[in-house]
Structure 1
Amino acid sequence: MNSTRTLWITIGTAALLTTALWIGGLVYAVNDVINPKPAPYEGTASPAQPEEENKTTIDIVALGDSLTVGTGDVSGKGYVQNVREKLAAVTKKQVNLIGNYGINGYKTDQLLNDLQKANGVPYGIEKADVVLLTIGGNDLFAVGQDVMNSQTNELDANKVRERLPEPMNRLEQILTRLAQLNPKAKIVYVGVYNPFYDLPEMRPASVHVQEWNDRAFDVANRFPNMVYVPTFDLFQLQFAKYMYSDHFHPNQEGYVRIADRVVQALE
Structure 2
Amino acid sequence: MRRWMKIVAAIGVVGLVASGGYWVSRHQNEPQQATPTKQHLVKQLKLVALGDSLTQGVGDTTPAHGYPGRIATALKKQTKIPTTALNLGKEGDRSDQILKRLNASARQQLAVKQANVIVLTAGGNDLLKVLQGAIVGHSEAEVTKAVQGTVPHYTANLQALLARVRQLNPKAALFLFGNYNPLYVYFPNFTAINTSVTTYNKVNATMVTKYDGYYVPTFKQLTYGQYQNGHARQDLIMQANEVGTNFLAALSSTRVQAAEKNNFLSPADHFHPNAKGYDLMTKALLQKMLLHDSWQYTKIGGQ
Shorter-normalised TM range: 0.7 to 0.9
Work out whether residues 180 and 218 of structure 2, in 8 Å CA contact, stay in contact via their aligned partners in 1: yes
After the TM superposition, which residues 213-232 of structure 1 pair with which residues of structure 2 at under 5 Å, given as runs? 213-224=201-212, 226-232=213-219
Work out whether residues 61 and 100 of structure 1, in 8 Å CA contact, stay in contact via their aligned partners in 2: yes
Larger radius of gyration: 1
Change in CA separation of 1:179 and 1:48 when aligned onto 2, cut-off 3 Å: same
Alignment gaps of 5+ in structure 2: 1-31, 227-260, 291-303
Query: Is 2:170 the counterpart of 1:148?
Result: no
After the TM superposition, which residues 84-103 of structure 1 pair with which residues of structure 2 at under 5 Å, given as runs? 84-97=72-85, 99-103=86-90
Residue 177 of structure 2 corresponds to 190
Deviating beyond 6 angstroms after TM superposition, the runs of 4 or more aligned structure 1 residues are none
Residue 52 (structure 1) shift:
7.0
Work out whether residues 143 and 192 of structure 2, in 8 Å CA contact, stay in contact via their aligned partners in 1: no
- The secondary structure found in structure 1 opposite 2:132 is coil
Amino acid in structure 2 at the alignment position of 1:76:
P
Work out whether residues 172 and 216 of structure 1, in 8 Å CA contact, stay in contact via their aligned partners in 2: no
Residue 279 of structure 2 corresponds to 256
Work out whether residues 140 and 191 of structure 2, in 8 Å CA contact, stay in contact via their aligned partners in 1: no
Residue 116 (structure 1) shift:
3.5
Residue 118 (structure 1) shift:
7.2
Using the TM superposition, name which of 231-240 and 206-215 deviates more: 231-240
Q: Distance in 1 between matches of 2:105 and 2:92?
A: 23
- The secondary structure found in structure 2 opposite 1:74 is coil
Residue 260 (structure 1) shift:
0.7
TM (norm. structure 1) is 0.75
1:162-189: CA deviation from partner (whole Å, max 9, x where unpaired): 2333223201221222222212111110
Residue 86 (structure 1) shift:
0.7
After the TM superposition, which residues 1-267 of structure 1 pair with which residues of structure 2 at under 5 Å, given as runs? 48=35, 51=38, 53-77=40-64, 78-97=66-85, 99-117=86-104, 119-148=106-135, 150=137, 152=139, 156-200=143-187, 202-224=190-212, 226-237=213-224, 238=226, 240-245=262-267, 246-267=269-290
Change in CA separation of 1:144 and 1:59 when aligned onto 2, cut-off 3 Å: same
Alignment gaps of 5+ in structure 1: 1-44
1:210-235: CA deviation from partner (whole Å, max 9, x where unpaired): 111111111122233x1110000112
Residue 21 of structure 1 corresponds to none
Q: Distance in 2 between matches of 1:151 and 1:180?
A: 41
Amino acid in structure 1 at the alignment position of 2:280:
R
Identity of aligned residues (%): 30
Aligned CA RMSD, in angstroms, stands at 2.6
- The secondary structure found in structure 1 opposite 2:83 is strand
Amino acid in structure 1 at the alignment position of 2:274:
N
Q: Distance in 2 between matches of 1:184 and 1:199?
A: 42
Residue 143 (structure 1) shift:
0.7
Work out whether residues 155 and 205 of structure 1, in 8 Å CA contact, stay in contact via their aligned partners in 2: no
Change in CA separation of 1:109 and 1:197 when aligned onto 2, cut-off 3 Å: same
Q: Distance in 2 between matches of 1:260 and 1:160?
A: 30
Using the TM superposition, name which of 206-215 and 115-124 deviates more: 115-124
Q: Distance in 2 between matches of 1:118 and 1:148?
A: 35
Q: Distance in 2 between matches of 1:211 and 1:153?
A: 14
Change in CA separation of 1:241 and 1:49 when aligned onto 2, cut-off 3 Å: closer
Say how many residue pairs are matched: 223
Greater RCO, CA 8 A, separation 6+:
2
- The secondary structure found in structure 2 opposite 1:142 is helix
